[in-house]
Amino acid sequence: MKFPVTRWVQKILRSIRAVYSQHLTIKVVPETAGEPVSFRINILVLLFAVGLLGVVFGGSTYLYHRVRTAPTIITQQQSELQNLQANLDEALQELQAVLRTVRPLEEEIEISAAGFGTATPAVATPAALSRTQVSDFFQDLSRQKSGPDNPTSVREVEELRAFVRNLESSLGTLGQTRSVLAMTDSYLRDVPHQWPVANGLGVVTMEYGPNLHPFTGQWYLHKGFDIAGPPGLPLAAAADGVVVDSSFDPGYGNNVIIRHRYGFHTRYAHLQQVFIREGQRVSQGERIGTLGSSGFSSGPHLHFEVIIGNEVLDPAPFLMISNTFQRGGTASSRRR
């Protein structure tokens, strides 16, 4: 069955046939005596050839421009990464300095507060270090020592009162110090510094840097920390973050990547079990899986990486913020 063709469709078809049937004849006449040479070219073929040459020329020009500017772009990116690395190193040094300062101070505060528990047995010692309780405590103490059975000079009572005033004035500073400590802990929750094996377990068998490959025996750059232990050890998130990858990789095995603030990512590889999924928000210290030997692995261990941008960083400066361990991959870690 044939369908009727409208008049305008017929006109279009006739126009196409007319263009297709048109040809150009190019004649080349040599300067010396000789027969001229003629070429007969179809219009559509000529248009196609011109378009193809235009595409080839445009593509070549674009590739040439990209090749010429690629070294400049790479140099700029390397410079930006170097600046980022320098800023990161400086931030880590500042965090370590803050922790070295505030931790002894916090211990001294706790020791000082505990010392109030050894006061005179006849007087009720305050259970918490507050302004009202401390004032009542020393006022009761001064009244007891000034009673008829235990006469005390006015000077001693005034010394006690002066001590109470000084202690009350220092309570505000103690409160500010505790506020700084709380703020420091809050910031550190976003920095991947917690030991990734729960309870500080595991033995460092290979650190970041040049190492001998366990299979090929050749030198290569090992981009992480290998922490060995028995299969099934619980693994913990090094910082607060969101899971962006939880999958199987032929090399990394069961592989988890967590995104943290400030551009950080952490990778946990060769897991035996995975307890988290993509898109899930995890907290620092939360269980994310168990230690295993999946993928291309020489034995049960966790391969731990710290990443910022496209660069894999040495995890040691981060882990040293709140952990101590022997360098060289010969001893387990322990929490400070």
Cα angle, residue 94 at apex, residues 89 and 96 outer, rounded to 5°:
95
Residues 6+ apart with CB under 8 A from 19: 43, 44
Confidence (pTM)? 0.51
Return the amino acid letter for 26. Answer: I
The pLDDT of residue 28 is: 72
The pLDDT of residue 128 is: 45
The pLDDT of residue 126 is: 41
Judge contact between 194 and 285, C-beta under 8 A: yes
For residue 69, what are its two tokens?
Answer: 């500017």
CATH number of 198-335: 2.70.70.10
Judge contact between 299 and 228, C-beta under 8 A: yes
Mean pLDDT, consecutive 10-residue segments, the chain of 336 residues? 64 73 71 70 75 85 78 76 72 67 62 52 44 55 52 59 63 60 72 91 90 82 92 96 96 96 94 96 96 92 93 91 69 39
CA 122 from centroid of its chain's CA atoms: 56
Q: Which of 41, 46, 45 is nearest to 23 (CA)?
A: 41
Judge contact between 255 and 297, C-beta under 8 A: no
Residues 6+ apart with CB under 8 A from 152: 142, 145, 146
C-alpha distance from residue 233 to each of 59, 269, 331 (Å):
56, 13, 17
Q: CA 189 to CA 318: how far, in whole Å?
A: 12
The pLDDT of residue 11 is: 77
Return the amino acid letter for 31. Answer: E
